[in-house]
Amino acid sequence: MKYNYLWAIVLISLLYLILCSCTNKPELPDPLMAGWEGSKVCELIEDNDKVRVLRCTFAPGIGHERHYHDPHFGVTLSGSTFRITDETGTKDVDVPSNSHFYSEGTEWHEVLNVGDSTAVFLIIEPK
């Protein structure tokens, strides 16, 4: 009887794991792993036990596939106009050069440089 109870727990646990793995929710890449049409747009320029820093470059017509962000501080070295799509919809945003921003994190978004200049960002993620 004791073994039947243990086997039931094992089978229920396995069934639960199988059902959880069948969800349609895709695993999204972080900004470093996400690219655009098979090419990288961000490079790792610092990674230590305190911080990770990325430099992301978007020429006109280049975007960043759907990805998530952990909380971070960003610096716009060179700005442009971006088409940003997230759970609220799609909007065009002018991002000025020599500006900065803070984000509590982003569940997902995708962006496309629809402007006429190359944009460069530093993304600084505390650990």
Express each pLDDT in 67-97 by its tens digit. Answer: 999 999 999 999 999 999 999 999 999 999 9
Sequence-separated (6 or more) residues with CB below 8 Å from residue 76: 95, 96, 97, 98, 99, 100, 101, 119, 120, 121
Tens-place pLDDT, residues 16-72: 445 445 544 459 999 999 999 999 999 999 999 999 999 999 999 999 999 999 999
The sign of the dihedral angle between the CA atoms of 87, 90, 74, 68 is positive
Structure-block tokens of residue 64: 């960043």
**What's the pLDDT score for residue 1?**
55
Torsion sign (Cα): 72, 38, 43, 117:
negative
Threshold 0.85, pTM exceeds: no
> What residue ranges define each of the domains in the chain, with the CATH number in brackets?
28-126 (2.60.120.10)
Q: Identify the pLDDT of residue 107.
A: 95
Please say whether the beta carbons of 45 and 53 come within 8 A: yes
Say how many Å lie between the first and final Cα of the chain, rounded: 49
